[in-house]
Amino acid sequence: MSADAHSSRGEHRENVVVHTYDDIEEFDNHLPNWWLYTLYGAMVFALGYLGHYHVFHSGPSSAESYEQEMAADRAAAAERARGGTVTPEALLTLSRDPATVRQGREVFTQNCVACHAPTGGGGIGPNLTDRFWINGGAPDRVYRSVTEGVPARGMPAWGPQLGARRVQSAVAYLLTLRNTNVAGGKAPQGNEEP
Ligand code: HEC
């Protein structure tokens, strides 16, 4: 490479032949400025991106933002389910919303554990964690059992006392207990359901 083959930065010297081998000429042309600035821009962007998402975690990763969107979606679905009529689907939707289920566990702890045990495994009242149901284990049947109770058999009607919203939450929580068969639960009562 001869000295004059180099062209210094800023100087416009096209088509300076650096090598000729077998009649093939190699030039030393400047990269176009637009290309260089695109490259530098991409490098700066990549550093910023890396810092924001992976080093300082000041932005959510795609997995995190996916989780956030899913949680928001579950909460929105739960809110819609509360507004409409109480259908089995609406109750199942509520049972997938962590906030509703947490609320339901509180309602259960405050009102139900005396007869159904803190685990839901049963005592005076039946085991709510097995596959056996006296009054039906489908979501709408469970909702009716809690709302109207079975006063003649010792289960109070909770609808008037708790209101629809808290009953819905309690049922959402109970639906997460179904078929979990907690240890020390009461022996099955009623009919086996799938
Ligand atoms: C005073 C005791 C008592 C309390 C408190 C009580 N239950 Fe019950 N529960 C019972 C009894 C007894 C039964 C069984 C009724 C029957 O034989 O049909 C029952 C039945 C049920 C059933 C139907 C179970 C089945 O097998 O069909 C559900 C659901 C239920 N209770 C939920 C609740 C919830 C939720 C609460 C609190 C909000 C609650 N219970 C509070 C005594 C109680």
Domains of the chain plus CATH, in order, are: 86-192 (1.10.760.10)
Q: Is 88:138 a contact under the CB 8 Å cutoff?
A: yes
pLDDT score of 11: 47
Distance, CA of 84 to CA of 123 (rounded, Å): 34
SS (H, E, C) 160-190: HHHCHHHHHHHHHHHHHHCCCCCCCCCCCCC
Residue 130 pLDDT > 70, yes or no?
yes
Q: To test ligand 1's pocket by mutation, which of 106, 145, 165, 175 has the most ligand atoms within 8 angstroms of CB?
A: 145
Ligand 1 site, residue 126, Cβ cutoff 6 A: yes
**Gyration radius of the chain's alpha carbons:** 34
Which pLDDT band, with edges at 50, 70 and 90, does 15 fall under? low
Phi, psi dihedral angles at 17 (to 5 degrees): -80, 125
C-alpha torsion 129→134→136→139, nearest 10: -40
Which pLDDT band, with edges at 50, 70 and 90, does 13 fall under? low
Ligand 1 site, residue 135, Cβ cutoff 6 A: yes
Q: What is the pLDDT of residues 153-167, one digit of tens each?
A: 999 999 999 999 999
Query: Could you tell me the two tokens for 101?
Result: 């289920």
SS3 assignment, position 136: coil
Q: Measured on CA atoms in the order 51, 55, 60, 63, is the torsion positive or negative?
A: positive
Q: Report the half-sphere exposure of 72 (CA within 13 A, side-chain side).
A: 6
Interval 6-22 mean pLDDT: 64
State the CB neighbour count (10 A cutoff) for residue 133. 21
SS3 assignment, position 107: helix
